[in-house]
């Protein structure tokens, strides 16, 4: 068996669940989300068995690689999808409200199954070393995400988000196809690993055409990663999409985009004529993304929009790591940052979903007095916000520390200073939520109910934040 086994297993799991849903007359579809989560947990366990897991990095596969980066992020995507599936039962009442159907529970089951196909597409994407494979994987994931973002067909915010996501996603697809065409036209290859050898034989007159193709690819990947100035779709799409899908977009989709960006830039780093230019561009992107993401988050009053701009800010810190790829510790630092980002961001969305369900809105004011209505949810959001801000003994603190360290070693002193300033800005907007929970009075005193699944999810994600913040060595060792 080869590395495609895991992705094929996820696709087969999705097809089986679709058949189960089609022949089941149960109105409550929560069991499909649980079955999907159990199935993905099995696939995650299989990824640790060498005989059926990914092949070594020396594999001669033309389209897929199995290096440490792909192995780590395949597992990362499986965990992110499992968390998303476990959030869906808590979102069922919203789905039923906006999905009128002739039969009870109609349309709800597919909502719990479609993320599996997104997961398979993103898993292929992080393992791809050929532009054709990247494009096909990207389309599998993105087209399914279009459906999921606009799933609440009687909610105008969801429809608006889906329309924007579709139009801007199609635009970024156009950029990536155009860029691939130019690069193939100049070098004669679509394989990322073969690019350095192909470029080394090119005449100097081809350099501008090559740079144009590279620029088109960078624009497309900036859309996917939420880098400035291509982040403008994020606030509206995050606010309008169903909450489990928003959390999935902010973590899994962003991670896959960053992995493709890392592979692309690593292949071009061996060419001095391109490396310096690309490093300057990425450094500028990182600085602008840090400034925009952090300062645009300050005036936000809607929690989803705040987390949307927060994700732009975190893309800036990750781009600091990308600008320092020449450091051996850059990829472990980026991988660790993503692991912490998964735990703290998804924890924030799990709490947001529970609060929104109880209060009927996503505004920060809905968190007023949460510590009195649910100390458990308030404590979980406190931990998430502290980690997102970068408080010591949390995953967010270690992640930022590692990124700053590799940036300093590569001489990006200006970026690190800017990063320190934007961290201070982050303290302000994250602590607006904490102030609402602990210093504001609640509009009502009723206790917010928390389901058993949500409790366990919060406990596991919270434990992940603290473990990574106190004992990061095992994960860093696995990434080296």
Q: In the numeric block, which tokens belong to residue 48?
A: 């640790």
What pLDDT was estimated at residue 118?
94
The answer to whether the CB of 283 falls within 8 A of the CB of 378 is no
- CA proximity to 389, closest of 355, 419, 349: 419
394 pLDDT higher than 60: yes
**DSSP character at residue 249:** I
Q: What is the mean pLDDT of the chain?
A: 89
Number of helical (H) and strand (E) elements in the chain, helices listed first: 21, 0
Per-residue burial over 359-371, b = 16 or more CB atoms within 10 Å of its CB, e = otherwise: beebbbebbbbbb
- CA proximity to 379, closest of 313, 465, 443: 465
3 state DSSP class of 299 = coil
pLDDT band at 245 (very low <50, low <70, confident <90, very high): very high
Residues 197-210 have a mean pLDDT of 84
pLDDT band at 74 (very low <50, low <70, confident <90, very high): very high
Residue 170 CB contacts under 8 Å (≥ 6 apart), including other chains:
none
Rounded percentage of the chain residues whose pLDDT exceeds 70: 96
Range scoring the smallest mean pLDDT among 94-103, 253-262, 396-405: 94-103
Rounded percentage of the chain residues whose pLDDT exceeds 90: 56
- Please give the Cα distance from 351 to 343 (Å, whole number): 12
* Cis peptide, bond prior to residue 229, ω within 30 of zero: yes
Residue 61 CB contacts under 8 Å (≥ 6 apart), including other chains:
2, 3, 55
What pLDDT was estimated at residue 56?
55
**DSSP character at residue 411:** T
The answer to whether the CB of 225 falls within 8 A of the CB of 286 is no
53 pLDDT higher than 50: no
What pLDDT was estimated at residue 443?
82
Residues 151-155 have a mean pLDDT of 84
- Please give the Cα distance from 348 to 392 (Å, whole number): 18
pLDDT band at 119 (very low <50, low <70, confident <90, very high): very high
58 pLDDT higher than 90: no
The single residue listed with the structure tokens 């880098």 is 227
List, for residues 180-189, the tens digit of each pLDDT value: 999 999 988 8
Q: How many angstroms from the chain centroid is the CA of residue 300?
A: 21
- Please give the Cα distance from 369 to 366 (Å, whole number): 9
Count CA within 13 A, CB hemisphere, residue 188.
6
Per-residue burial over 291-301, b = 16 or more CB atoms within 10 Å of its CB, e = otherwise: bbbbbbbeebe
Q: Report the greatest alpha carbon distance in the chain.
A: 73
List, for residues 326-355, the tens digit of each pLDDT value: 888 899 999 999 999 999 999 999 999 999
What pLDDT was estimated at residue 52?
45
What pLDDT was estimated at residue 3?
61
Q: In the numeric block, which tokens belong to residue 235?
A: 């606030």
The single residue listed with the structure tokens 């297993």 is 9
The residue ranking higher by pLDDT, 400 or 102, is: 400
Phi, psi values for residue 42, rounded to 5°: -65, -40
Q: In the numeric block, which tokens belong to residue 58?
A: 């020396």
What pLDDT was estimated at residue 28?
80
Residues written for the chain: 480
- CA proximity to 347, closest of 281, 230, 251, 414: 251
pTM, full prediction: 0.94
* Cis peptide, bond prior to residue 110, ω within 30 of zero: no
Question: Rounded to whole angstroms, what are the CA distances from 464 to 73, 141, 178, 343, 480?
Answer: 17, 27, 41, 6, 20
61 pLDDT higher than 70: no
- Please give the Cα distance from 252 to 266 (Å, whole number): 21
Q: In the numeric block, which tokens belong to residue 103?
A: 């039969």
**DSSP character at residue 228:** T
- Rg of the chain (C-alpha set): 22
The secondary element (H helix, E strand) that includes residue 157 is helix 156-187
Residues 374-397 have a mean pLDDT of 94
Residues 151-162 have a mean pLDDT of 85
The answer to whether the CB of 18 falls within 8 A of the CB of 113 is yes
- CA proximity to 418, closest of 291, 326, 309, 258: 291
What pLDDT was estimated at residue 102?
66
What pLDDT was estimated at residue 178?
92
- Please give the Cα distance from 140 to 156 (Å, whole number): 25
Phi, psi values for residue 367, rounded to 5°: -90, 0
Contacts of 205-208 spanning 24+ positions with Cβ under 8 A: 207/273
What pLDDT was estimated at residue 383?
95
DSSP letters for 177-219:
HHHHHHHHHHHS--BTTTHHHHHHTS-GGGHHHHHHHHHHHHH
**DSSP character at residue 443:** S
């Amino acid at each position: 068996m080869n590395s495609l086994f895991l992705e094929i297993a996820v696709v087969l799991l999705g097809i089986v669940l679709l058949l189960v849903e089609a022949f089941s007359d149960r109105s409550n579809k929560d069991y499909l989300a649980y079955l999907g989560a159990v199935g993905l947990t099995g696939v995650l366990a299989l990824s640790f068995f060498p005989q059926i897991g990914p092949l070594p990095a020396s594999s001669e596969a033309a389209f897929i690689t199995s290096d440490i980066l792909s192995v780590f992020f395949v597992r990362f995507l499986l965990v992110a999808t499992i968390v998303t599936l476990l959030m869906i039962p808590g979102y069922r009442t919203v789905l039923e409200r906006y999905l009128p159907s002739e039969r009870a529970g109609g349309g709800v089951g597919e909502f719990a199954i479609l993320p599996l196909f997104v997961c398979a597409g993103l898993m292929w994407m992080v393992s791809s070393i050929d532009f054709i494979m990247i494009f096909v994987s990207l389309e599998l994931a993105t087209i399914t995400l279009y459906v999921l973002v606009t799933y609440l067909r009687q909610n105008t915010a969801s429809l608006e988000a889906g329309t924007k996501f579709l139009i801007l996603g199609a635009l970024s697809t156009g950029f990536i196809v155009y860029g691939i065409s130019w690069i193939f036209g100049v070098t004669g290859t679509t394989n990322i690993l073969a690019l350095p050898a192909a470029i080394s034989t090119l005449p100097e007159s081809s350099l501008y055409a090559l740079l144009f193709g590279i620029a088109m690819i960078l624009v497309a990947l900036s859309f996917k990663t939420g880098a400035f100035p291509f982040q403008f779709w994020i606030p509206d799409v995050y606010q309008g999409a169903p909450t489990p899908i928003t959390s999935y977009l902010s973590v899994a989709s962003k991670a896959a985009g960053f992995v493709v960006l890392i592979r692309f830039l690593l292949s071009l780093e061996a060419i001095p004529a391109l490396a310096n230019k690309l490093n300057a561009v990425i450094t500028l992107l990182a600085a602008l993304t840090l400034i925009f993401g952090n300062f645009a988050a300050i005036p936000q009053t809607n929690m989803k929009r705040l987390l949307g701009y927060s994700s732009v800010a975190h893309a800036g810190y990750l781009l600091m790591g990308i600008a320092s790829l020449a450091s051996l510790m850059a990829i472990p630092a980026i991988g660790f940052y993503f692991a912490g980002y998964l735990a703290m961001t998804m924890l924030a969305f799990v709490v947001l979903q529970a609060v929104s369900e109880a209060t009927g809105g996503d505004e920060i004011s809905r968190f007023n007095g949460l510590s009195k209505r649910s100390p458990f949810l308030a404590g979980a959001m406190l931990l998430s916000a502290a980690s997102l801000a970068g408080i010591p003994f949390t995953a967010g603190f270690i992640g930022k520390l590692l990124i700053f360290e590799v940036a300093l070693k590569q001489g990006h002193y200006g970026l690190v200073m800017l990063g320190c300033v934007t961290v201070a800005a982050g303290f302000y907007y994250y602590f607006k939520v904490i102030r609402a929970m602990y210093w504001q009075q609640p509009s009502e005193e009723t206790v917010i109910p928390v389901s058993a699944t949500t409790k366990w999810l919060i406990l596991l994600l919270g434990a992940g934040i603290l473990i990574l913040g106190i004992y990061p060595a095992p994960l860093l060792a696995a990434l080296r």
